[in-house]
Amino acid sequence: MDTRLETFQQDVLDSSFKTPVVIDFWAVWCQPCRMLGPVLEKLEKEANGQWKLVKVNADEEPELGQYFQIRSIPAVKMIRDGKIVDEFIGALPEVEVRKWLEKHLPNESKNQLEMAKSMLQSGNSAKARKMLENTVKQEPNNAEARVLLATLLMSDDVDKAAELVKVIDDENPFGNKANAIRTLHRLTHLNETAGEPKEDWKLYHQGITAFKKGKYAEAFETWIELVSRNRQLDDDGARKACVALFTVLDSEHELTQKYHRRFTSALY
């Protein structure tokens, strides 16, 4: 819809308390505006009421342009609860506009993920797991949901956990955790190497067995002991195992708080 200064309060500000409003500042002579306009209109139609598009002709409504400090068009702003929450200038490709919208628009997967994280904090891992499984099914590219679900599955099915994070690369914000899960998964399929002290291998595998059973405290105990006496075994494997498990559990986890100082001391 088009808006004017006289109806702006009702069309944009008041409406933004009910649903996000995207303002498109444009002009007839602006070629990039003609490219971006149809993209916004198409995405609004697809959104089925999730957000509202309001168009402002910058030439006909200079007061609105001045109020929003418009220096170049097309200029797009998202208004929610009467405030600007994001904006961009220029005719972005459709895929980039979609990403821009998705950052701020509520959706079922996003809400479900937040509920799952809340369940995890309260200790209800069974419900969290179901929610995360639904989220991954609905949104296969959701790296955070994949990592959280993989973390829950590690003690039951480490192979499935590794499969979940297989698609997450190093550049992803959750790539560090994905790599940590892959490191721990490798340990569960490790064979003894000839020439290494058998007692050290026995201790190493004791920690791996504890990890596979979800006994992470016991795994830390054995791996940290091994760090202090044999850094060469499995190419510093015990240290890498500890780092990976700390990464998966997060810095605020009680086991990280308990064992990280001991781990650091064992390194030196």
Backbone angle region of 60, left / alpha / beta, with phi > 0 → left and psi within -120 to 50 → alpha:
alpha
Which residue out of 12, 21, 23, 30 is catalytically annotated? 30
Q: Is 242 a catalytic residue?
A: no
Which residue out of 22, 23, 33, 150 is catalytically annotated? 33
Of 148, 209, 221, 149, the C-alpha closest to 184 is 209
d(CA 186, CA 165): 13
To which residue do tokens 């500000």 refer? Answer: 13
Task: Tell me 193's DSSP state.
Answer: P
Q: How many helices (H) and strands (E) does the chain have?
A: 13, 4
d(CA 59, CA 67): 14
Measure the CA angle with vertex 109, ends 105 and 112; round to 5°.
110
Q: Is 33 a catalytic residue?
A: yes
| Residue numbers annotated as active site | 30, 33
